[in-house]
Amino acid sequence: MLWVVIPIVLIVVPIMLISFWWAAMFVPAIIFDIILISLSVRIVKPNTVKTVEVFGKYNRILRPWLNFIIPIVETTKDQVLYRKNFPVDVDWITDDNVTASIWLNVIYYVLDDKNDSENWNIYKSIYTIDDHRTMMKSTIDEQLRAMMVTFTHKNIFEKREEIWNVIEERLRDKLATFGYKLDSIQVRDIKLATTVMEAMNKVIETEKLKEAAFNEWEAKKIMQVKEAEAEKESKILLGQGMAWQRMEIARWFKESVDMIKQTDDTLNAAKVLDFLLDSSRIETLWNIWDTQNTKLIYLNEDMEWRTAKARESKLIAWSDIM
């Protein structure tokens, strides 16, 4: 209606003044128009609305565009619709008597439901609460302190999602009562007392050092096991080699004994074996003597023992074979 009334007033009043007093009232009429325009025009910006009060009583809502009001009779109040950030910091004591600080960020706004009645968002956000930020902080404090006394300083960092869910549900209902809508809650940070944080860092550092020492010990253990296994394999191979060597020696000894026995049927295996052993002994002594810077002292104890034994048994000496 004001779209019609105000332009008519701006036109009719100057015409009437000019008609009655003509040139003498021309300038006052222009001044009157300028004053009336400045008092009656209201330009509403995007994401903003204005409520109009007639002698202090709510009347209607002005939305973004060019609007008019009746000067003096009507006044306006502003309300923004864009999203706002509200940081909240809460300090409290955990279940194990550690001071914890939780920093939150609340994002909220007034939802324009395109309804100008007194039961809808814009009206309630202006006329039902004086300081909505104090209300939000009180609600968050109440919820956080009730929750934090059930947490320990060790598990409070694991409760981000639980904290977010409980506060969001409670705050969403509370804000809706006053015409506001909750967009989201962000848990910015959780901090403990400095001394507690330093102690926790030392515990973590100690655990890491312990883990590193254990890994080093495991590595040494594995190396020792591998070395033992390698030594075992080496000894097995060495034993197999020695056994194979003895088998080969025995086989060649047998073949040698058989060849010597074929030359003389009177020789038995014992005589031939003694002959071979004595031959090997003499060859060994010769190799030692033939080595440079080596002195050989020969003690003929074994030969005397063999001679005495041969006489007793009436057997020929080893030299008789040769």
Coil, helix or strand for 107? strand
- Specify which of 39-48, 95-104, 190-199 reaches the highest per-range mean pLDDT: 39-48
**What mean pLDDT comes out for the span 87-91?**
86
- Do residues 39 and 72 lie in contact, with contact meaning Cβ atoms separated by under 8 Å? yes
Answer whether residue 185 is part of any domain: yes
pLDDT at 315: 39
Taking residue 69's Cβ as centre, other Cβ atoms within 10 Å add up to 22
Of 39, 55, 80, the residue at which a domain comes to its end is: 80
Q: Enter the pTM of the model.
A: 0.55
Measuring CA to CA, how many Å separate 267 from each of 58, 233, 253, 282?
A: 143, 44, 15, 21
The answer for residues whose C-beta is within 8 angstroms of residue 77's C-beta and 6 or more apart is: 50, 51, 53, 126
Answer whether residue 232 is part of any domain: no
**What mean pLDDT comes out for the span 106-125?**
88
Answer whether residue 207 is part of any domain: no
Separation CA 247–CA 238 (nearest Å): 14
59 with 8, same domain?
yes
pLDDT at 248: 74
pLDDT at 321: 40
Rounded to the nearest integer, the mean pLDDT of the chain is 76
Separation CA 216–CA 316 (nearest Å): 71
Answer whether residue 320 is part of any domain: yes
Would you call 118 exposed, middle or buried from its count of C-beta atoms within 10 A (0-12, 13-18, 19+)?
exposed
Q: Answer with the residue of higher pLDDT: 55 or 96.
A: 55
pLDDT in tens, 133-151: 999 998 888 888 777 777 7
Of 192, 221, 236, the residue at which a domain comes to its end is: 192
pLDDT at 108: 94
pLDDT in tens, 276-287: 677 777 777 777
